[in-house]
Amino acid sequence: TLIRVATSDSLSASLLYECFPYIREKHPNIHIELTTAGTEDLFRMLDHNEADIVCTLDNHIYNTSYRIKGEKKVGLHFIVPARSPLADKDSLSTEDILEQDWLLTEKGMSYRRLLDEWLAKASLEVRPVLEAGQADLLCSLVEMELGCSFLPDYITEDAEKQGTIKRLTAKGFEPDLWKQILHHREKWVSPSMQTVLRIMTERWL
């Protein structure tokens, strides 16, 4: 049985690592087709029956066309190298943010969009020195002291425990980020699809 899953670039690795080995071992008859796309395209795929399940990392999605099968709020912080002068601070000012070299995900992508929208309210913007879709790579580059970033906590958890980076907030900025697993309300949920939804909810959220 083929189950088509669509998600963002930054979630694909964790989704596969957490769920696919278990699915392969316990349910070898289920085959997974994983596609990555931006949030807008993910829901277009659901609407056109090009995906069975969508996993998002974005604002909380409220839409009566979709059923939320699982969700979890995700921590989100600025990160700086442990030896950066900023590492002594508890929070960043907008001046601090504008003065840094930023390594960020692509413009318009979930948490990057939250940052850009917050700065735009003050008619400000950051121009990153690097834009890339691989969030774990961006964290590694911050550890190498090549700049600062803005990433979900599950990406930066190991580096923070090892003391190679420092997580920081920003004054007046409280981003709202959620992992969500959804399918279209009119989609027939087969037993195999129900199994995949259950495994994703139990092991990934």
Coil, helix or strand at residue 13:
helix
Average confidence (pLDDT) over 90-113: 91
Average confidence (pLDDT) over 120-139: 93
pTM of the model: 0.87
pLDDT of residue 155: 92
Residue 193 vs residues 21, 31, 93, 199, 202: alpha-carbon distances, Å: 16, 10, 46, 10, 14
- Residues 15-53 pLDDT 10s: 999 999 999 999 999 999 999 988 889 999 999 999 999
pLDDT of residue 172: 92
**Would you say the C-alpha torsion 45, 47, 52, 55 has a positive or negative sign?**
positive
**Sole residue written with tokens 């409280």:** 174
